[in-house]
A and B are shown apart, each in its own frame.
Chain A
Amino acid sequence: MSRFFDWLDHRTGYRTLVHDALYEHIPGGARWRYVWGSTLTFCFFVQVVTGLVLWMAYSPSRQTAWESVYYIQHIMTAGWLLRGVHHFTAHAMVVLLALHFLQVVIDGAYRAPREINFWIGLVLMQIVLALALTGYLLPWDQKGYWATKVATSMMALVPIVGEPLQRLVVGGNEYGHHTLTRFFALHAGVLPGLLLVFLAMHLALFRRHGLQARQPYRRPDTTFWPDQLLRDAVACVAVMIVVLVLVLWNYPSAEPGVPLGSQLGAELGAPANPAESYAAARPELYFLFLFQILKLLSAFPPVIGAVAVPGLILLSLFLMPFIGRWNFGRRFNVVWTIALLVGACVLTVLAWRHDHNGTSTESQRYLAAVTAAHNEAERTVELASAPSGIPPAGALALLHTDPKTRGPKLFRQHCAACHSHVDPAGGDANSPDRIAVEKPTASNLWKFGSREWIAGMLDPEKIVDPHYFGNTAFKEGEMVTWVNDNIATQLADLEGDELAEFRRKIEDVTIALASEAGLVREMIADLDARVTAGREAIVNEFACIDCHKFHDNGDLGLAPDLTGYASRDWLYAFISNPEHERFYPETNDRMPAFVPNSDDPAANRLTAEELTLLVSWLRGEWYEPAATANAGAE
């Protein structure tokens, strides 16, 4: 065997190489303070390996970026672990950069002949930060999209070259496929390549100059292997443990049954949507201090806070070898570095507190936006994980056609000027379906057409309440008169069994009418007999057909058609045009026709698709995963 190695060494000289690599001289013995550079190299190694594996599953384009990251995070085996490690190692790297820099400045390791290596280190720092910035966009989720938009807008503020540079990086004027392909090329090709070149120079110069040993020497001189390498390896393992802890942070509180991808590792927000504002747009944590500088310097043009101040700080770092030529300068460098680090921490805390204090309106808005974004992200994952999967148009198309998330938005935009949508019984105050209106001028459409809703309509007190006709012209209308003359008087006059009998009759009518809607959530098989009784009462005893049409009885014209009341078709037709003969041809109270022209979709307030979404949402009909399906699931 040894003959083989002799031969190999003769042909390659590998023994000298290995010896040079392992037996670097370390004056004064191995120390923990020398580990920072090695931990950074370790992190870079982790990023290269995990990044290459991510690359094998990532597809940069507008319709596939989020989708492929979703697939990694939620479907592929331990994809959440891979993404989490890549994400949090990036965080670790930024922190380790700061520590490495601090150690270099305290030890004065920038002094002759190490100036150039110090500058190479600063270049490496910029490359690492650029890697972090470009990586943030690649999942193409809302937070990455909006934060990076701010970052590239700031890039355009650099005098002269900024604007063309921005177009080159973005790949055009607007964000699109080429923004992703270019960011990806930077993130996975250009920047790591540069980093490798500069890292090689950094290490070569480091070896050439030797370690800047800390005086006084506490131990006899030693070599890199094994004394210092042991410390370095232990430090790397410690970094690894910290990263794993961050990835698994939510594990103790993880809900059983929910896939780990939804709970662990790096967050994946809802897919980027230029038409959906994101009030929680913030840069990654380690850039938050720059964000805060920008806010503090709001009295100055943005170019000051975004370009000039960070540029000057960077310049002051590059000048350290010159400043450090004097004893006083060296102390100044240390104080200045510590001041910058403490300042960055303070600014980060300030920015964080401003967003998370929960008392200011700005903070409440931010937190609400975070929750909304979180819900939307979960919903997108739910839809993407459905058997029908993600269509070729991408995950955004899933959200566009989802009644559960589009419904409240459409309702807010088109209906909530008059109608509210709140649970009269209180219910969950944070429900995304709860849309309160300060002064509603029309009925509350919560569970419109359900038994509960119709029962209120037939209740002499409730019908004149703001949840029903209280704030409309119908308060003085025929229906209220009828309820008062018939139901209210009967309820007052009747006693005992007769009263119970009458109440049962009202309930029959309610059940019969609610069954017209065909709501899945209202379907109960053993109610058939009561539906028949209720239909009978609608026609005969209650004589609803004096005003309303109900199947083959009664006529249109006086009051809304009760045939198929609150069914899909009924709602669609009613919202399209409430003044249609079927509904309120004479007595419509201010409600506009939303889709009056069926032959010219462009002339309508709502598109057919939007109206369908709105109807589905009002009826509580949308996709829910089987495990948690509610009664309203399709």
Chain B
Amino acid sequence: MNSLSADTSSPSTQPPRRSFFARIAATIAGGIALVFPFAAGSGVLFDPLRRRKQEAAGDEKQMAGYSRICALDALPADGMPRQFVVTADTADAWTRTRGQHVGMVFLLRKDEGGNPKVSAFTATCPHLGCAVEFDAAVDQFECPCHVSGFAKDGRKLFGPSLRGLDALDVKLADKGGTQEVWVAFRHFRAGVAERIPVG
């Protein structure tokens, strides 16, 4: 506690033991003070990592997660992809919107033995998220950004995408005599070979 300590390596007038504790204490106290604002902000900063799933859009209970796209009759059974806008009730932070346009899908209908068969692909390119378009002249999907090509069944034909177009689950629902096409619209991780749903 005083300058009589034997192991003074410096000729300092500071008492070394006290100095040692003071340094530790100053470092800890100063560190706490410095970390404090970061700690206070970390909750909000990392909030998006905790909020894995936004509340699902609530259409109808048995159709939770599905969005109504169109009447089945609106879709000719010629196997040609047709683009539709997906509307859903959305929650974006504080804003809740009913019937918001949230994305685009392609629907193809090819009936088998009189039974309607509809498949759906999201229009989001699995490469890096641009919107693919269907080019009827060459009968394939193409992405205008980095030129990936996909067949009508979603298979990858060429370009940098690591996988084919992302298929979406389709449900046909009878509503008062009208057949409707419902699609489970979701996003997938871009740029990877596996199909990993996001959110």
User: Which residues does A use to contact B, with CB under 8 Å?
Assistant: 62-63, 146, 149-150, 153-154, 156-157, 163-164, 167-168, 170-174, 176-178, 273-282, 291, 294-295, 297-303, 305-306, 362, 365-366, 369, 400, 413-414, 417, 592, 597, 600, 602-605
Contact = CB atoms under 8 A, between A and B. Distances in A.
A278 to B, nearest CB: 7
Given A278-B131, A298-B159, A171 B48 contact: yes
Contact of A306 (B102, B144, B191): B191
Contacts of B70: 605
Given A168-B46, A600-B176, 8 more contacts: A167-B49, A274-B103, A279-B144, A294-B146, A294-B160, A295-B160, A302-B160, A597-B178
Interface stretch (B5-13, B17-25, B71-79, B110-118): B71-79
B54 A413 contact: no
Contacts, number: 142
B76 A417 contact: yes
B94 interface: yes
B180 interface: yes
A150 B192 CA distance: 14
Contacts of B94: 177
Contact of B190 (A146, A156, A173): A156
B187 A173 contact: yes
B155 interface: no
Nearest to A362: B147
B117 to A, nearest CB: 20
Given A173-B199, A275-B104, A277-B123, A602 B175 contact: yes
A406 B93 CA distance: 28
Interface in B145-199: 145-148, 159-160, 162, 175-176, 178, 180, 187, 189-193, 198-199
9 contacts: A154-B191, A274-B102, A281-B144, A282-B145, A298-B146, A302-B191, A413-B84, A417-B76, A604-B71
Band of interface residues on B: 35 or more
B39 interface: no
B51 to A, nearest CB: 6
Given A275-B86, A298-B159, A301-B162, A605 B74 contact: yes
A597 B160 contact: no
Given A173-B198, A369-B144, A146 B103 contact: no
B64 interface: no
Contact of B68 (A173, A301, A592, A602): A602
A164 B160 contact: no
Contacts of B160: 294-295, 297-300, 302, 305
B123 to A, nearest CB: 7
A302 B93 contact: no
A603 B133 contact: no
Contact of B48 (A168, A277, A282): A168
B130 A146 contact: yes
A168 B92 contact: no
A295 B147 contact: yes
Given A167-B48, A603-B175, A302 B127 contact: yes
B74 A597 contact: no
B132 to A, nearest CB: 8
Contact of A150 (B74, B82, B129): B129
B45 A168 contact: yes
Contacts of A301: 162, 191, 193
Interface string B56-80: 0000000000001011011010000
Contacts of A366: 144
Given A168-B46, A176-B93, A177-B94, A597 B131 contact: no
A93 to B, nearest CB: 26
A177 B95 contact: yes
Given A177-B92, A275-B102, A280 B73 contact: no
Contacts of B46: 168
Given A168-B49, A177-B92, A275 B162 contact: no
Contacts of A168: 45-46, 48-49
Contact of A298 (B48, B76, B147, B199): B147
Contacts of A305: 160
A55 to B, nearest CB: 20
Closest 9 CB pairs of A and B: A277-B131, A275-B101, A298-B160, A176-B92, A173-B199, A279-B144, A153-B190, A302-B191, A603-B178
A87 B62 CA distance: 50
B59 to A, nearest CB: 9
A603 to B, nearest CB: 4
B175 to A, nearest CB: 6
